[in-house]
Amino acid sequence: MILLVAAALAAEVAPASAALQAALEGELARATVLKLPDAPAPWLVIFDALDGTVHEAGAEDGALYRSQHAPFRNLRVEVRVGDATVDSSNYSGFGEPDGIQSRRLPVEDGQVALRREAWLAADAAYKNAVETLSRKLAGRKGLKEAPPPDYQVLPPLVRPAGPHPGNAWSAPEVDDLARRLSAAASVDGVESAQAEVRDWHGWRLRLDSTGSRVWAATGNVVVRVEAVVRRDDGSEVRDARWWIGRDARSLPDAAAMESEARALATSLLETAAAPTPKPWLGPVIFEGEAAAELFSQLLAPELVGTRPEETAPGSFFAPGATPMARIGRRLLPEGWSAWDDPSTRTGAAGEYEIDHEGVAPRRVDTVVDGVVRDVLMSRLPSKERAASTGHGRALGNDRRGALPGFVRVTAPRMITDAAMRKRAMKLARSVGQEQVLVVRRLTPAAMVQSLEVSVSGEAPMAGLTAPYEACLLQVDGSCVPARNLRFVGVDRRLLRDIVAAAPGAGRIDMLDGPPGPSRYTIGTTGGVPTSWDVPSVLVSEVELDPADGGEPRVLRIGRAGAR
Partner 1 sequence: MKAALDEAATQLGQLKDADRAYSIAYSVLDHRALNIQGSHGAFAGMVPEHYRSVDVDVRVGSLDLDSTHKIRDESYFSGTSRPHWLVGFEGGADPLRRLLLRATDDAYRGALARLLKVRSNEAVKVEREDDSADYSIAPAQKRMDVPPDLVIDRAAWQEVTRAASAVYLEYPEVYDSAVQLVVTEDDRWLVNNEGTEVRDGRRHLRVATWAETVAEDGMALSVYDYVDVASVAHLPDAARIEAMVRQVAARTVALRNAPIIEPWNGPAILRGRAAGVFFHEIFGHRIEGHRQKDEDEGQTFTHRVGQAILPAFLSVVDDPTVERLANEDLNGHYVLDDEGVAAERVSLVERGVLRNFLMSRAPVEGFPKSNGHGRRQAGNFIVPRQGNLMVQAEGVIPYAELRKRLVAELGKQKKPWGLVFDDISGGFTFTGRSTPNSFVVQPVTVWRVFADGRPDQLVRGVDLIGTPLTTFGRILAAGGDVEVFNGVCGAESGWVPVSASSPSLLVQEVEVQRREKGNDRPPLSSPPVGTK
Distance CA 155, CA 358 (A): 11
Q: State how far the Cα of 97 lies from the Cα of 125, in Å rounded to an integer.
A: 8
Question: How far is 61 from 228, CA to CA, in rounded Å?
Answer: 12
Euclidean distance between CA atoms 28 and 42, whole angstroms? 11
* DSSP code at position 524: S
What gap in Å lies between CA 45 and CA 122, rounded to an integer? 8
**Is residue 62 involved in binding partner 1 (CB under 8 A)?**
yes
Among 6, 96, 104, 233, binds partner 1 (CB under 8 A): 104
Residues 6+ apart with CB under 8 A from 151: 44, 80, 84, 87, 89, 379, 380, 381
Q: Does 134 bind partner 1 (CB under 8 A)?
A: no
Q: Which of residues 523-542 bind partner 1 (CB under 8 A)?
A: none
CA of 339: how far to CAs of 8, 325, 388, 390, 482, in Å?
A: 33, 14, 15, 14, 33
Pairing assessment for the beta strands 100-104 and 63-81 based on DSSP bridges:
antiparallel
Q: x/- site string to partner 1, residues 68 to 87, per CB under 8 A?
A: xxxx-x--------------
> Does position 30 bind partner 1 by CB under 8 A?
yes
The count of residues interacting with partner 1 (CB under 8 A) is 51
Cβ atoms 376, 305 nearer than 8 A: yes
Comparing CB distances to partner 1, the nearer of 107 and 157 is 107
Under rule CB under 8 A, residue 426 binds partner 1: no
Chain centroid, CA 222 distance in Å: 12
Complete DSSP assignment for 377-416: --SS--SS--S--S-EE-STTSPPEE---EEEEE-S----
Sites for partner 1 among residues 180-219 (CB under 8 A): 186, 191-192
Q: How far apart are the first and last CA of the chain?
A: 33
Count CB atoms within 10 A of the CB of residue 445.
23
Our finding on whether 119 is near partner 1 (CB under 8 A) is yes
How many secondary structure helices (H) and strands (E) does the chain include? 7, 22
Residue 176: strand, helix, or coil: helix
Between 2-10 and 171-185, two packed helices, what is the crossing angle to 10 degrees?
A: 150
The beta strand positions in 266-375, using DSSP E, are: 280-286, 337-340, 364-368, 371-372
> Interface with partner 1 includes 117 (CB under 8 A)?
yes
Smallest distance, Å, CB 231 to partner 1?
14
Is residue 383 at the binding interface for partner 1, with CB under 8 A as the rule?
no
CB of 469 to partner 1, least distance (A): 24
67 lies in the site for partner 1, by CB under 8 A:
yes
**Interface with partner 1, residue 551, by CB under 8 A:** yes
Q: Which of 48, 51, 60, 355 binds partner 1 (CB under 8 A)?
A: 60
With contacts defined by CB under 8 A, name the span among 58-66, 357-365, 376-384, 456-464 that binds partner 1.
58-66
Largest CA distance in the chain: 80
CB of 219 to partner 1, least distance (A): 19
Query: How far is 446 from 27, CA to CA, in rounded Å?
Result: 37
Smallest distance, Å, CB 546 to partner 1?
22
CA distance 305 to 391: 10
Is 25 a binder of partner 1 (CB under 8 A)?
no
Q: Which is nearer to partner 1, 96 or 108 (CB)?
A: 108
Among 109, 353, 398, 497, interactor with partner 1 by CB under 8 A: 109
Stretch that binds partner 1, among 25-33, 214-222, 269-277, 411-419 (CB under 8 A): 25-33
Q: How far is the CB of 114 from partner 1 (least distance, A)?
A: 7
Region near partner 1 per CB under 8 A, out of 24-32, 242-250, 418-426, 457-465: 24-32
Q: Looking at beta carbons only, is 69 or 262 nearer to partner 1?
A: 69
Could you say whether residue 553 binds partner 1 (CB under 8 A)? yes
Q: Is 165 in the site for partner 1 (CB under 8 A)?
A: no
64 near partner 1, judged by CB under 8 A: yes
Binding status of residue 263 toward partner 1 by CB under 8 A: no
Residue from 15, 22, 65, 434 touching partner 1 (CB under 8 A): that is 65
Task: State which residue, 73 or 441, has the beta carbon closest to partner 1.
Answer: 73
**Residue 554 sits in the site that holds partner 1 (CB under 8 A):** yes
Comparing CA positions, the residue from 440, 441, 442, 448 lying closest to residue 519 is 448
Where does this chain touch partner 1 (CB under 8 A) — which range of 123-131, 381-389, 409-417, 419-427? 123-131
Pairing relationship of beta strands 337-340 and 63-81 according to DSSP bridges: unpaired
Provide the β-strand partners of residue 473. Answer: 436, 479
Binding mask 468-507 for partner 1 (x = CB under 8 A): ----------------------------------------
Please identify, among the stretches 61-69, 159-167, 320-328, 367-375, the one whose residues bind partner 1 according to the rule CB under 8 A.
61-69
Least separation in angstroms between residue 65's CB and partner 1 is 5
Q: Is 10 in the site for partner 1 (CB under 8 A)?
A: no
Selected from 85, 111, 315, 518, the binder of partner 1 by CB under 8 A is 111
**Residue 70 neighbours by CB distance under 10 Å:** 10
Segment near partner 1 (CB under 8 A); pick from 26-34, 146-154, 200-208, 248-256: 26-34
Does 450 participate in binding partner 1 (rule CB under 8 A)? no
How far apart are the C-alpha atoms of 316 and 314, rounded to whole Å? 6
User: Which residue in the set 1, 14, 120, 414 belongs to the binding site for partner 1 (CB under 8 A)?
Assistant: 120
Q: Provide the minimum distance between the beta carbon of 184 and partner 1 in the complex, in angstroms, as a whole number.
A: 14
Question: Minimal CA–CA distance to 541: which of 498, 482, 483, 485?
Answer: 498
Q: What secondary structure letter does DSSP report for 215?
A: E
Q: Across the strands, what pairs with 87?
A: 82
Nearest CA to 522 among 511, 510, 508?
A: 511
Where on the chain is the footprint of partner 1 (CB under 8 A)? 26-27, 30, 34-36, 59-71, 73, 104, 106-117, 119-120, 123-124, 126-127, 179, 186, 191-192, 551, 553-557, 559-560
